[in-house]
Structure 1
Amino acid sequence: MIRVSEPDFNVADEIALLEADNSQDGAVVTFTGRVRQQNDGHDVTGLFLEHYPAMTEKSLLGIVEQAKEKWRINRVSVIHRVGQLYVGDNIVFVGVTSKHRGDAFAAAEYIMDYLKVQAPFWKKETRSGQDAWVEAKTSDQQKAQQW
């Protein structure tokens, strides 16, 4: 399941969906990303995320398909919020199920790493009353290249 939307998600509900009627998988790995108060030495009060819907969903589907080719995984859930968010708000959820934990951990990390560098989201932080577009980090690019 892939969802890009403004409304918040409930982590417990998303995990329950991954586990529902799923007795074949012994591993459920999840990651939740949230808006943090500091970024690159700046105090952050908010984050605004924009995207191009058709391109974003296609990109996320491609990342999930690549993960399915690399590891033996079953269910995958990727949720990414857009719009105005504030410190502490959920931004992203990645959940992966597999028979074994190694595949689930690797696939979840891969999806998150590639989501950071390939998915077309544009982020604008509010820092002390001023807005600043957030550039992709070199460290994120390097992490994705390791795969």
Structure 2
Amino acid sequence: MPGRVAHARVIDAPLDVAAHLAAVEGPAVGATDVFVGTIRDHDPEATGTVVGLEYEAHPDAEGMLAALAGRIALSTGTTIAVSHRFGTLAVGDVAVVVASSAPHRREALESTRALIELIKTEVPIWKRQTDDTGSSAWVGL
């Protein structure tokens, strides 16, 4: 099964996990792996309880995300659907989804893990975290 990217998006709208799973299904698929990153209520860098995040994305972020997904898909033979959200998100909201499918589990698992790690280090998306004390700070710059 050749690698391909079903979609790679950076959007200001809620992410649909089921749509990502549907995008990577097919008759040759024996394994599907999915990562769903949600906003949590705590962080070591926060003074109090985290109440939300604001993500900002560089205009080239979607293209960079697509290129990274393509590189991983090609090297692993997987099909990938990936999206990252920007804008204001509350605790519990989905910020990122990576779905990878392959004939076998090893490639699907490796693909998802490799891509989420690259997203964190290579895609120009930044987050500002706000806590219940009213403090806010940029994280991971």
Instruction: Give the TM-score normalised by the residue count of structure 1.
Output: 0.84
Q: 2:102 aligns with which of 92, 98, 113?
A: 98
1:72 aligned to 2:71? no
- Indicate the SS of the match to 2:24: helix
> Relative contact order: is structure 1 or structure 2 higher (C-alpha 8 Å, sep ≥ 6)?
2
TM-score (norm 2): 0.88
- Number of the residue aligned with 1:125: 129
Aligned residue for 2:56? 50
What is residue 141 of structure 1 aligned with on the other side? none
The percentage of counterpart residues that share the same residue type is 30
Structure showing the higher helix proportion among its residues: 1
Structure 2 gap ranges (5+): 1-6
| Cα displacement string for residues 103-136 of structure 1 (whole angstroms, at most 9, x for unaligned residues) | 0100110000000000001110002211100025
Q: Give the 5 Å matches for 1:1-147.
A: 1-19=7-25, 22-40=26-44, 42=46, 43-53=49-59, 55-73=60-78, 75-127=79-131, 128-136=133-141
> What does the per-residue CA deviation read over 1:20-66, in whole Å, with 9 as the maximum and x for residues that have no partner?
xx11111111000000000115221010000122x101211221122
Contact persistence 2:11–2:84 (CA under 8 A)? yes
**What amino acid sits opposite 1:108 in the alignment?**
T
User: How many residue pairs align between the two structures?
Assistant: 132
Q: Deviations over 1:74-104 (max 9, x none)?
A: x211110000001000000000111111001
Say what the alpha-carbon RMSD is for the aligned residues.
1.3
CA distance in 2, matches of 1:14, 1:110: 17
